[in-house]
Amino acid sequence: MEWLRAEVDTSNEKVRERVHSVFLDMSNVVNIDTSELVGLEKIHKELASLGIQMAIASLGWQAIQKMKLAHVVDRIGEDFIFLTVGEAVEGCLTAHKGSAMEF
């Protein structure tokens, strides 16, 4: 997180080079507990405060179900939960290009 904060601070004048997305490849995660859900929410809040979108990829169905029950998916955004890392990259690039056009 410290690196991202520093990167955002130094790239404010260089908008084109700014970090806009962070991908969490969770392919090895089969299940998730309460402390991990809280941790994901903390990471999401921190990234959002820096203007960075968090995307989760390759998460097992049991973990996704628990995230839905805890409303973590609602907070992160269902559009940013992906089956593969490739889909996550493509989805975030599309979302970023769409938001860049609005400015």
Delimit the domains of the chain by residue range. Answer: 20-102
Could you please report the per-residue DSSP string of 28-62?
T-----HHHHHHHHHHHHHHHHTT-EEEEES--HH
Per-residue pLDDT tens digits for 20-67: 899 999 999 888 999 999 999 999 999 999 889 999 999 989 999 999
Beta bridge partners, 24, equal 56
Is pTM, for the whole model, over 0.85? no
Q: How far apart are CA 37 and CA 103, in angstroms?
A: 33
Distant-in-sequence, close-in-space partners of 48: CB < 8 Å, separation ≥ 6: 54
CATH of domain 20-102: 3.30.750.24
Q: How far apart are CA 72 and CA 98, in angstroms?
A: 24
